[in-house]
């Protein structure tokens, strides 16, 4: 709990800075609805729709966030072009599996299960999963007995919720996107939601949602694994090589830190 509070406080402190910087950051990568494997030298990269601070549409409809800026910096470093395709998390993974997109960057956790069907880049961001509520009468997981909780389709936080649903006696209801999931909790339809901690913490600290984190797995949990960029297994090896080379370069030259601190002050 102490760690969660710290995260929220730090998040709140950086929210204004991140907001100001984001407003003049001007991420220029264009989002496009076109899909399909690399054509005309351009890769199609699928992403989530509403997963701040990793990817989200700003007030002018442009996508920005840590993933978006990292991809742009890596593409620039490695000299490749891409089109961004914000499909939503589960749809983005499916598009890569169906070779309709060349890669996915979407705060995607690197897991052994996913490694069977995806090739992952080097890890680029540590994460954990958490449970958040709107109503303070739900102070701990035990209070969710007999309640409905909101989970996001195909995610690690959903997997965690499913793994403890019987123990705590709650029922999981699936949503496609994080924003709709939070709304369901705010409206009181679901008692809680399950989400990645950096994303939930950011939404709370920016005042976008009035939720509170009541539980977080620790970093050694199998549900708390870092994020990686992914391609379909055995495909797009060249893109993966470029991503890893570019990621290393932007870590070495300070661009990575600049990007992360633009959105998250404590990193
Ligand atoms: N990190 C989580 C996962 O990979 C959620 C990602 C997301 O919702 N964009 O399952």
CB of residue 155 inside a 6 A radius of ligand 1 = yes
| Each residue's pLDDT tens digit, 67-88 | 999 999 999 999 999 999 999 9
pLDDT recorded at residue 41:
77
C-alpha 134/C-alpha 149 separation (Å) is 12
Which pair of tokens denotes residue 18?
A: 């991140």
* From 157, 195, 203, mutation site for ligand 1 pocket: most ligand atoms within 8 A of C-beta: 157
| Each residue's pLDDT tens digit, 187-235 | 999 999 999 999 999 999 999 899 999 999 999 999 999 999 999 999 9
Look at residue 14 and tell me whether its pLDDT is greater than 50. no
| Each residue's pLDDT tens digit, 161-197 | 999 999 999 999 999 999 999 999 999 999 999 999 9
CATH of span 37-126+225-263: 3.40.190.10
Instruction: Kindly indicate whether the domain formed by 129-216 is annotated with CATH number 3.60.140.10.
Output: no
Task: For residue 24, name the pLDDT band (cuts at 50, 70, 90).
Answer: very low
Q: Which of 179, 190, 234, 201 is nearest to 6 (CA)?
A: 201
* Averaged pLDDT score across all residues of the chain: 89
CB of residue 55 inside a 6 A radius of ligand 1 = no
Look at residue 38 and tell me whether its pLDDT is greater than 80. no
* From 94, 105, 155, 228, mutation site for ligand 1 pocket: most ligand atoms within 8 A of C-beta: 155
CB of residue 48 inside a 6 A radius of ligand 1 = yes
| Each residue's pLDDT tens digit, 88-144 | 999 999 999 999 999 999 999 999 999 999 999 999 999 999 999 999 999 999 999
Average pLDDT over residues 243-261: 98
Average pLDDT over residues 35-40: 48
pLDDT recorded at residue 146:
98
Distance 118 CA to ligand 1 centre (A): 14
* From 90, 94, 156, mutation site for ligand 1 pocket: most ligand atoms within 8 A of C-beta: 156
pLDDT recorded at residue 13:
42
Return the domain boundaries, the chain. 37-126+225-263, 129-216
CB of residue 228 inside a 6 A radius of ligand 1 = no
For the CA of 51, the closest atom of ligand 1 is 9
Alpha helices in the chain (DSSP H): 2-25, 66-78, 89-97, 112-115, 156-168, 178-186, 197-205, 237-252, 255-263
């Amino acid at each position: 709990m102490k760690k969660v509070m710290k995260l929220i406080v730090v998040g709140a402190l950086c929210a204004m800075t991140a907001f100001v910087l984001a407003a003049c950051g001007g991420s220029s990568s264009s989002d496009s609805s076109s899909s399909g494997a690399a054509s005309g030298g351009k890769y199609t990269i699928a992403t989530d729709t509403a997963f701040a601070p990793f990817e989200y549409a700003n007030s002018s409809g442009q996508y920005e966030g840590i993933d978006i800026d990292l991809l742009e910096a890596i593409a620039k470093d490695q000299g490749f072009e891409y089109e961004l395709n914000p499909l939503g998390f589960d749809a983005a993974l499916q598009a890569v599996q169906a070779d309709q997109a060349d890669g996915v960057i979407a705060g995607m956790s690197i897991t052994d299960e996913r490694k069977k069907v995806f090739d992952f880049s080097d890890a680029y961001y540590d994460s954990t999963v958490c449970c958040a509520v709107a109503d303070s009468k739900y102070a701990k997981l035990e209070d969710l007995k007999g309640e409905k909780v909101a989970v996001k389709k195909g995610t690690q936080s959903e997997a965690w919720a499913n793994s403890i649903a019987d123990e705590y006696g709650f029922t999981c209801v699936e949503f496609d996107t994080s924003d709709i999931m939070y709304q369901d909790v705010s409206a009181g339809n679901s008692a809680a939601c399950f989400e990645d901690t950096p994303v939930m913490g950011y939404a709370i600290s920016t005042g976008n949602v009035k939720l509170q984190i009541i539980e977080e797995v620790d970093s050694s949990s199998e549900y708390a694994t870092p994020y990686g960029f992914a391609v379909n297994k055995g495909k797009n090896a060249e893109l993966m090589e470029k991503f890893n080379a570019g990621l290393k370069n932007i870590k070495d030259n300070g661009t990575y830190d600049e990007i992360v601190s633009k959105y998250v002050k404590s990193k």
